[in-house]
Amino acid sequence: MLFQSQLASHFRLTISRENHIFRKKVGKLAKLEKFGNGSSDPFLGSALRDWSSSEYSISYSPGYPTFKGQVLNGQQLWELMEGLEENDLLYYTHLLTGYIGSVSFLSTVLEVVNKLRSVNPKLKYVCDPVMGDEGKLYVPLELVSVYREKVVPVASMLTPNQFEAELLTNLRIESEKDGREACNILHAAGPPMVVLTSININGNLLLIGSHQKEKGLSPEQFKIVIPKIPAYFTGTGDLTTALLLGWSNKYPDNLDKAAELAVSSLQALLQRTINDYKSAGHDPKSSSLEIRLIQSQNDIRNPEIKFRAERYT
């Protein structure tokens, strides 16, 4: 482990478990771009190296009428981990997961968490529990209980949307108070950091964050009001979670600042996407928009903070 220990002193080592979609610039590719894929970057304060595996290697997002490709199963994922272990390459500081479509694969991810923490007990597991949105499930129903009972307890940071938070807590979120209580329920189950990435309260779109710095203490909680943009974008969930991982790595004791930076980056990128589509003569309301990730690198690395966190007291 000498090589890995020396490497870890210079690099942040991250596994990104995301889908590989060839005709898109989000998901796994978005994370590689934001993390610099080994290059030093002020966004992170130090270099962050990335190894990624994909459950799906497909031509397009499933949001398109048709798509083709392959699905990796849990056994194949574990074979990749065995390959890393045989080459003494299991020291990582972060594990990031997003959309997972089967219980088998999710169960193997839990084995991966245990294996990586046997090498580095301080490994941070950032989980975006992608299950659905606006009352609609994207995944088989049986995954909900696996997330609730097995994944949440081992996560370091959880980034559900409103619907996903309701599924994980069995709590209907109809107010800011409900959102904060959902965070408390999730803290009690495991993760010290919880970010409800988007909740709609009385027509207002909010992010609610919560950081319980020590078990038994009241968490520091805050909200950020997010402007509604009259368009539908593909990849914002992946992007938000990746940004939160990156900025919370740089500001580990200041989740509200990390969220301010993440939201400000995202909003600048979405506005650029809208402007690009309009300049091309396309109506942004007519279809799902591919976010302008590459064109927005400076907004990702050096965002101007325009959206401030308001702490709850």
pLDDT per residue of the chain (313 residues) written in tens, 0 to 9: 333 443 343 345 566 555 543 333 344 434 433 444 444 354 444 445 555 555 555 545 555 556 566 667 889 889 999 999 999 999 999 999 999 989 999 999 999 999 999 999 999 999 999 999 999 998 999 999 999 999 999 999 999 999 999 999 999 999 999 999 999 999 999 999 999 999 999 889 999 999 999 998 999 999 999 998 888 888 888 899 999 999 999 999 999 999 999 999 999 999 999 998 888 888 888 778 888 888 989 999 999 999 999 999 9
pLDDT score of 36: 41
pLDDT score of 305: 96
d(CA 218, CA 212): 6
Residue 304 is which amino acid?
E
Question: Where do the domains of the chain lie, and which CATH numbers do they carry?
Answer: 2-311 (3.40.1190.20)
Give the CA distances from residue 182 to residues 108, 223, 228, 301, in Å, rounded to whole numbers and listed in that order.
27, 14, 23, 31
Q: In degrees rounded to 5, what are phi and psi of residue 198?
A: -160, 120
Residues catalogued as catalytic: 238
pLDDT score of 144: 97
d(CA 18, CA 245): 14
d(CA 70, CA 54): 10
The 8-class DSSP code of residue 59 comes to S
d(CA 156, CA 175): 25
d(CA 183, CA 290): 31
d(CA 133, CA 257): 26
Buried/exposed code over 281-304 (b: 16+ C-beta within 10 A; e: otherwise): eeebeeeebbbbbeebeebbeebe
- Give, in degrees to the nearest 5, the angle at Cα 33 between 282 and 283: 10
Residue 137 pairs in a beta bridge with 132
pLDDT score of 280: 87
Report DSSP letters for 125-180, one per residue: EEE----EETTEESS-THHHHHIIIIIGGG-SEE---HHHHHHHHT----SHHHHH
- What is the pTM assigned to this prediction? 0.83
Tokens found for residue 91: 């020291």
